[in-house]
Chains A and B, each alone.
Chain A
Amino acid sequence: GAVVSQHPSRVICKSGTSVKIECRSLDFQATTMFWYRQFPKQSLMLMATSNEGSKATYEQGVEKDKFLINHASLTLSTLTVTSAHPEDSSFYICSARAPGQGALTFGSGTRLTVV
């Protein structure tokens, strides 16, 4: 089945620094990938849609300059949290839809802690 790999699984960084999270589709090409964020005991909220070769589409209320998305190839999308603050601490999850499948396949998530 379709596999989406996400790295790192856990990262701790200092306030003011930037953190990059990678999302790869291992056995299929994904022109579109989705980045979600989940706060404790809350739903998964879509942050942005990553489009290969073009700009990402951000959901309302998500700062595009803070959450930089790059989708440079058909198998890789990256999310960079710039100038991280403690309130950015969250669980970030990427996903993609394999060709012919209706369901999204999710990565294993990245737990970001900003101290």
Chain B
Amino acid sequence: DQQVKQNSPSLSVQEGRISILNCDYTNSMFDYFLWYKKYPAEGPTFLISISSIKDKNEDGRFTVFLNKSAKHLSLHIVPSQPGDSAVYFCAASSRGNKLTFGTGTQLKVEL
């Protein structure tokens, strides 16, 4: 049972444009959500998080939006840069417990 889903396995965006990565979840007990970036053969790197008491969190070029009623979150990257090309995982947890990861979206930012 995949509790965290990323339905787009890949996304291609032009440099300078906005990248929007989506994530859906099914467990209403999740109260903390995170986005990680991962390069091949490396561990994931934390990008940004959001608590369920908020609907938006912004950090530089990265903004995460949370729609609790739809059980949906998204990561916006603007402007997108070639160095952003990586696999992005969303993750969720309940009360600070273990993280459940989505299946990842491969982002490719083209020149």
Q: Which residues of A contact B (CB under 8 A)?
A: 4, 6, 9-10, 34, 36, 41-46, 49, 91, 93, 95, 102-109, 111
Contacts and interface: CB of A to CB of B under 8 A. Distances in A.
A109 B41 contact: yes
B93 to A, nearest CB: 8
Dominant SS among interface residues on chain A = strand
Given A34-B98, A103-B49, A44 B89 contact: yes
B98 A105 contact: no
B66 interface: no
Q: How large is the interface on B (under 10, 10 to 19, 20 to 34, 35 or more residues)?
A: 20 to 34
Interface in B5-44: 9, 32, 34, 36, 41-44
Given A44-B101, A109-B41, 9 more contacts: A9-B41, A36-B101, A43-B2, A44-B44, A45-B101, A103-B49, A104-B34, A104-B99, A108-B43
A9 B41 CA distance: 9
Interface of B: 2, 9, 32, 34, 36, 41-46, 49, 51, 89, 96, 98-104
A4 B46 CA distance: 13
A10 B41 CA distance: 9
Rank and list the top 9 A-B pairs by shortest CB-CB distance, nearest first: A106-B43, A103-B46, A44-B101, A43-B103, A109-B43, A43-B101, A108-B43, A106-B44, A93-B43
B48 to A, nearest CB: 9
Given A49-B98, A102-B49, A103-B49, A43 B104 contact: yes
